[in-house]
Chains A and B, each alone.
Chain A
Amino acid sequence: MLYRETGQFKTSYAADAAVFPILQDRIGIAAILAFAFLAVPLTLPDFWISAVLIPILVFSLAAIGLNLLTGYAGQISLGTGAFMGVGAYACYKLTTVFPDANIILLIVLSGLAAAALGALFGLPSLRIKGFYLAVATLAAQFFLSWCFVRVPWLYNYNISGAIEVPTRTMLGVPVTGPNATPVTRYLLVLAIVVGMTWVASNLVRGRIGRMWMAVRDMDIAAELIGIRLFRTKLIAFAVSSFYCGVAGAMMVFLWFGAAEADSFNIDLSFRVLFMVIIGGLGSLTGSFFGAALIWGLPIVLRSLPDALGVPIRAATVEHIQLMIVGALIIFFLAVEPSGLARLWQIGKQKLRVWPFPY
């Protein structure tokens, strides 16, 4: 009854090409944004903001990055963690060299470093695909992880080998480092994620996104209709790594506060890949759902025994979580290969015809 586009006529191309062509969607997204920007910082406790919302947003951006590459361009990558690391270390080096520069600018710039390396490791994608490419990206993962440990220049010759985030201020308010409040960091993360998601949504609907999808669906056919495969794949690698790099920089600067090489190991790559698969390959909304599910699941599992009064050890929770995630992946691939995003679509469709069945 409420969610129906009847009577909303599009009278211009701009209206037809809008991100949210339906009025109710626009109201919905405005409400969500207003809630996220205003209601959350004012009402939610700090724990929620720093332990739940910031991680979900950071992982969402990383998942969007991987989704652009795997879900849209069809190139599988197991090196996400390493590219996030590149972003983090690049941001650390940049802020050491330019301590007065705006930190948001540096976070975005560090994405460029990740993009350059991503394009470099994407070079083999011209000749190899599928599992072979997965092996090539594993090379990136292990080589870069090794660099994070063995190249002391990257962490300013610290004895600990870890990178500590220095305090940086914007307009007199500390936004990174130990003095930054969770709310400030949250707002910054949210702004970056919203902005970059908007860019991504326009990217995938435009020429580049269509080229990616054509390559994903059948690369030979795409080549025949005049798409330059090599360039398309390299753009996918660069853009994807850019997103992952920014996510990595945010992860260290606006969430962890400090990090070492081990934070960017292959487990991180897998975690982001799982988010993409469960959320839905080829869906930006799905990336958010996937991140929320994978990050939220252990939190729910951990609080569940307390609520029920059954004592379960932390390690057991971890194991059960791994099992559930594994089962969910198989379940989604078998039953709903487009993941949570597809469920969301179905829900919207049902809402559209409600109260009638069809």
Chain B
Amino acid sequence: MDLLYKIFLDPFLQMATTPDLLVQTLWEGLVAGVLYALIALGYVLIYKASGVFNFAQGIMVVFAALTLVGLHELGIPAFVALILALGVMLALAVAVERVMLRPLVNQPEIILFMATFGLTSFLIGFGEFVFGGEPKVMITDELLLPGGAFDFQILGGSVSLQKIDIAAAVIASLMVAGLAVFFQSTRIGRALRAVADSHKAALSVGISLEQIWIVVWFAAGIVALTTGVMWGARSNVSFALEIVALKALPVLVLGGFTSVPGAIVGGVIIGVSEKLGEFYWGPLLGGGIESWLAYVIALVFLLFRPQGLFGEKIIERV
């Protein structure tokens, strides 16, 4: 009885009695969700256009952020470093296309997936080799990102919203809008969708696969850099981020692998339910359930809707 009470009643009573805490928790979940969504966006981009499930997206985030901070530490002004970091991501995209994708053309998806494990391992080694393993501080002020927090007095308590989180949410929405426009109404965007539909058909109408792949991986690199800056501003830039980035996987499962809005909605759902679960139900289980809750939610969800919320229905042809 006591246990049932603790599971089904007590958390809701707590929510009702201290609404300010609830709002704060919801907000934190929302912010975490936006950041998950940003990483998930990188996965979706590459998956949509090249059918590669890029496991290395998480480490690309870390790598991009480290490059930015590392260049700044050399004395290069922040915005020049930003452009140079973008250049590095472009170089990475070209290298990946040359070395990894081109020899693996026409291989089954699962082989390409495993190749990205190789890329992950390589980038971890390379990143630590060049920049060292210690966490670095993101250069928020130099990039003119806002610091500090807004405090609201509502619902009989105070809720504090970090300005950087608001900035992250705004930038994420801008980026999603930009990508949607890019996909829907530019020439390259249309080519990208064609490639996603069928490599062969796209090739036969004269679309250059090489070029498209570079564009896509570069776009994913830009998303990675943005994510790295936003996430780095909240905590430090370190390789621990890579594990956090794995959280984008349940987000993808929830939202569907091929849907940009799905990544956003899935991210928010995962972020919010994770924080609510940890805050209200976590103590029952001894805490720390944040580390697996997202995966279990995704797992349960998969059983009922394997293609995700917004994903295209999986049709198997023989």
Contact = CB atoms under 8 A, between A and B. Distances in A.
Interface of A: 74, 76, 124, 127-128, 130-132, 134-136, 138-139, 142-143, 145-146, 149-150, 220-221, 266, 270, 273-274, 277, 315-316, 318-330, 333-335, 337
Nearest to A323: B125
A270 B117 contact: yes
Most B-side CB within 10 Å, residue of A135, A143, A266: A135
A124 B249 CA distance: 16
Contacts of B118: 277, 325-330, 333
Contact of A124 (B113, B129, B289, B302): B302
B156 interface: no
Nearest to B246: A138
Contact of B295 (A139, A273, A316, A324): A139
A322 B303 contact: no
Contacts of A329: 114-115, 117-118, 121
Contacts of B122: 322-323, 325-327, 330
A150 B285 contact: yes
A270 B99 CA distance: 22
Contacts, number: 139
Interface residues of B, number: 48
30 contacts: A124-B303, A128-B302, A128-B306, A130-B113, A132-B253, A132-B302, A135-B250, A135-B299, A136-B298, A139-B250, A139-B299, A142-B291, A142-B295, A143-B292, A143-B296, A150-B285, A150-B286, A220-B318, A266-B243, A274-B117, A315-B133, A319-B126, A323-B125, A323-B129, A326-B123, A329-B118, A330-B99, A333-B104, A333-B107, A333-B111
Contacts of B113: 76, 130-131, 134
A315 B295 CA distance: 32
B149 to A, nearest CB: 31
A333 B110 CA distance: 11
Contact of B114 (A221, A277, A318, A324): A277
A127 to B, nearest CB: 5
B128 interface: yes
Contact of B125 (A127, A142, A277, A319): A319
A335 B100 CA distance: 11
Interface in B22-58: 53
B104 A334 contact: yes
A130 B292 contact: no
A145 B291 contact: yes
Contacts of A318: 125, 128
Across the A-B interface, give the 8 residue pairs with the lowest CB-CB distance, nearest first: A326-B122, A322-B125, A329-B118, A139-B295, A326-B121, A323-B125, A334-B103, A142-B292
Interface in B88-143: 99-100, 103-104, 107, 109-111, 113-115, 117-126, 128-129, 133
Contacts of B289: 146
A76 B110 CA distance: 9
Interface string B240-270: 0001001001101100010000000000000
B77 interface: no
A130 B109 contact: yes
Contacts of A138: 246, 249-250, 295
A142 B291 CA distance: 6
Given A76-B110, A273-B117, A322-B121, 17 more contacts: A124-B303, A266-B246, A316-B129, A319-B125, A322-B122, A323-B121, A323-B126, A326-B118, A326-B122, A328-B118, A329-B114, A329-B115, A329-B118, A333-B114, A333-B115, A334-B103, A334-B104
Contact of A130 (B110, B246, B286): B110
